[in-house]
Structure 1
Amino acid sequence: MNHNTPLSPRPLRHLSDVRLRVLSSAQLRAHGVSAAETNAQCRPGGAWQQLLPGVFLLHPGPPTGQERVHAVLLYAGRPPGRSGHGTRARPAVPVQPSDEHPAPRATEAAPRLPHQGTDPVPAPYGEVMITGLAALALYGFSSAPPLLSLDRFDVLVPRTRRLRSTGCARLVRTAALPVARQVTGVPVAPVPRALADAVGGLTDADAVRRLLTEAVRGGHCEPTAVVRELTRARLMGRPHVVNAVDALVAEGRTIAEDRLYAMVSEWGLPDPVWNVDLRLPGGPHLGGVDAYWPDQAVAVELDTRAPRPGGRRDSAAESLQWTEYARKREHLERLGITVVHLTPRKLRDAPEQQATIVRTALMAADDRDPAAYVVVLPR
């Protein structure tokens, strides 16, 4: 087989690397395939087909979900082809599987496209990433539709990108791109951003609730990050989104409480009294805490506050809520009670460290002056 010949029109459906089955016109030119040759292969009944402007599928059958994802990224990213100066030999092209050159296994590294010279290989897709429902499907969300059932794929691009949405590619412009995650070799928006972009196109309240709940229950992200992105996208004025967020915050608190119970048990802390209100004898209500050790006068409070919708008014409301947290903590500490604030994220990511913080507070009780007597009531 002559490896310096143009790409063969033989079907590539059995190639394991989807990036060899979907190529841009620039990439084809870089491998010595002219526009005329590409057009010839894409004629009716031909071996190839055009999925999007300048993006081609190198087999005649229906594209898979992954092939459509890569096509959308190639269209939006417009990776540059390699161009030479002067006359040079035709560069090598991807070799199709045969008895002599079998298809690589899925566990092997993706083959690099051959190139000439010493210039760095350009990034496959540039500064773009999949977002919305397609991103959630790639993350493995059971509540997101499978890739094959999606009519369009949302892709985040810089605001200055001069392209239009077309076919299965819907461009979502943004002034500041988040840091992409790599999922099966595909650049994907972080879960909170992907959720916000997905929710923006949904009117089904149950579908929104299922997506948000799975994000938190599945450990993909914390409620605060989701609400922050929904607020940034100005979606918190929609009643079905607000209702889903209320359920999300409740779900997040339940999960955080479970993590707190697990931390106390798994790291050998003494058992506290759970979810109690503290009062002075015959005096005012001091506030509720999530865990309390009466003998050591140590309280744990979960910080599950979430940003709320509405701009400046809610910024003031959130500030007031924090003021109440601070006021309660200051009042309790004036009475000699140590208050430890824990966040759901830290309980998830560093439970041993959080257990050490609580244990240190308990051990330091003997070195402090005795705390005032308080009445402990169930919440």
Structure 2
Amino acid sequence: MYLSKTPLTDSYLRQHSRHGVIRVASLEKLGVTQSTAYRRCQPGGRWTHLLPGIVLLSKEQPTARQRVEASLMLTGGRGVVSGFEAARRYGLRQAGPHGTVHVLIPQQRKVRSVKFAIFERTIVMPDHRIVEGVPLATPARAVLDGVRRIRDLDPVRALLIETVEAGLCTVDELSAELESGSRRGTALPRAVLRELAAEVKSVPEAAALAIWKRAGLPPAERNVRILDASGNYVGKPDSWCDELALAWEIDSYAFHFGRDAYRKTLHRNNRYAAAGIVVVQTLPSRIRDEPDKVIAELRAAAEAAARRPRPAVSVVRTDRAA
């Protein structure tokens, strides 16, 4: 074993680590024996044991990047990060809670899941992208690997919709990825992808359609374009009742209230007002938590719209109705 003559300070050892994470075998080559390394990971020591044969040169709580580095080290550099951790690294805010690292490894690698690291063997390793030094499964594979482990519908909808709206992949690409892999845990993502293919654009829209029918209002349409009397574009409401010239917008914080989206929402509402359109705005959480109050608001807006002359607006419509 090579024993370094350089003082083995933690600062020196970090130079040979990845973000403070290092294999015990690498420490041995630098002159730190196994017994010393593991002793420093015991209570009162200054290091942390992360995964078998891998330590963190600190007693601080490991960061997401340090958990990723430890997981990849355990695969001998043959792993690709997938699931929620990959989704977060693509910038998706609707990914599941932090903590676990889902890593895809070749079928012949025999690495067992341990602690925060989930290892999944696959016959054909997926295409991957390097993002800030981390190999990530493609967005479609990553988000589907994540949602396959969810049993609640709304989080599945939220992540798949955000993935599509962020332009990371298309509904067709998600569907193709779903068909090419295991069928385990695919019932909910399949249902959501059917909704997306039918142009359901936000998490609560499926529930919103049911609420509209419960309200007993005239028929409404989805995803139609509204033009004012001069033929200028006004908006594309989530639901449109042409008989009453009534628009219903489901304005989610997640999908509508970013800085740019908030500005666009204000401009849209100003266009509705200028065109004489009655508009109801509803948060997604209220559709789930306060459906009766939402129904009352829709009925009140419909009564107000019926009392005023219908504005001179026109519709460029599809064949889809609520």
Instruction: Output the TM-score relative to the length of structure 2.
Output: 0.56
Aligned partners of 1:6, 1:26: CA distance in 2, in Å? 18
1:220 corresponds in structure 2 to 168
Within the alignment, does 1:33 sit opposite 2:32 as a pair?
yes
* Deviation of 1:18 (Å): 7.4
User: Over residues 138-175 of structure 1, what are the superposed CA-to-partner deviations in whole Å (9 max), with x where a residue is unaligned?
Assistant: 11101113xxx433211000111112111111101100
The answer on whether the counterparts of 1:11 and 1:58 sit within 8 Å (CA) in structure 2 is no
Q: One-letter code of the match for 1:5?
A: T
1:348 corresponds in structure 2 to none
Aligned partners of 2:37, 2:11: CA distance in 1, in Å? 14
Distance 1:196 1:135, change over 3 A: same
The equivalent position to 2:114 in structure 1, one of 166, 170, 177, is 166
1:48 corresponds in structure 2 to 47
* Deviation of 1:51 (Å): 0.5
User: Over residues 277-336 of structure 1, what are the superposed CA-to-partner deviations in whole Å (9 max), with x where a residue is unaligned?
Assistant: xxxxxxxxxxxxxxxxxxxxxxxxxxxxxxxxxxxxxxxxxxxxxxxxxxxxxxxxxxxx
* Deviation of 1:133 (Å): 0.7
1:8 corresponds in structure 2 to 9
Distance 1:236 1:223, change over 3 A: farther
* Deviation of 1:62 (Å): 1.0
Distance 1:378 1:240, change over 3 A: closer
Within the alignment, does 1:229 sit opposite 2:230 as a pair?
no
Aligned partners of 2:112, 2:151: CA distance in 1, in Å? 25
Within the alignment, does 1:137 sit opposite 2:88 as a pair?
yes
The answer on whether the counterparts of 1:223 and 1:249 sit within 8 Å (CA) in structure 2 is yes
* Deviation of 1:233 (Å): 2.7
The answer on whether the counterparts of 1:156 and 1:171 sit within 8 Å (CA) in structure 2 is yes
Distance 1:37 1:378, change over 3 A: closer
2:63 corresponds in structure 1 to 64
Q: Secondary structure at the match of 2:72?
A: helix
* RMSD of aligned residue pairs (Cα, Å): 3.1
Distance 1:16 1:202, change over 3 A: farther
Aligned partners of 1:378, 1:138: CA distance in 2, in Å? 37
Aligned runs of 1:263-278 on 2, under 5 Å? Answer: none
Within the alignment, does 1:243 sit opposite 2:242 as a pair?
no
Q: Structure 2 unaligned runs (5+)?
A: 202-316
Distance 1:163 1:242, change over 3 A: closer
Aligned partners of 1:24, 1:62: CA distance in 2, in Å? 18
Aligned partners of 2:103, 2:125: CA distance in 1, in Å? 11
1:371 corresponds in structure 2 to none
The answer on whether the counterparts of 2:49 and 2:55 sit within 8 Å (CA) in structure 1 is yes
Q: One-letter code of the match for 2:27?
A: L
Percent identity of paired positions between Structure 1 and Structure 2: 34
Instruction: Output the TM-score relative to the length of structure 1.
Output: 0.48
User: Over residues 76-127 of structure 1, what are the superposed CA-to-partner deviations in whole Å (9 max), with x where a residue is unaligned?
Assistant: 2x3xxxxxxxxxxxxxxxxxxxxxxxxxxxxxxxxxxxxxxxxxxxxxxx22
Aligned partners of 2:42, 2:184: CA distance in 1, in Å? 48
Aligned partners of 1:33, 1:11: CA distance in 2, in Å? 12
Q: One-letter code of the match for 1:206?
A: D
* Deviation of 1:39 (Å): 2.1
Within the alignment, does 1:176 sit opposite 2:177 as a pair?
no
Distance 1:11 1:251, change over 3 A: farther
The answer on whether the counterparts of 2:23 and 2:53 sit within 8 Å (CA) in structure 1 is yes
Q: One-letter code of the match for 1:138?
A: R
* Deviation of 1:9 (Å): 4.0
Aligned partners of 1:64, 1:19: CA distance in 2, in Å? 12
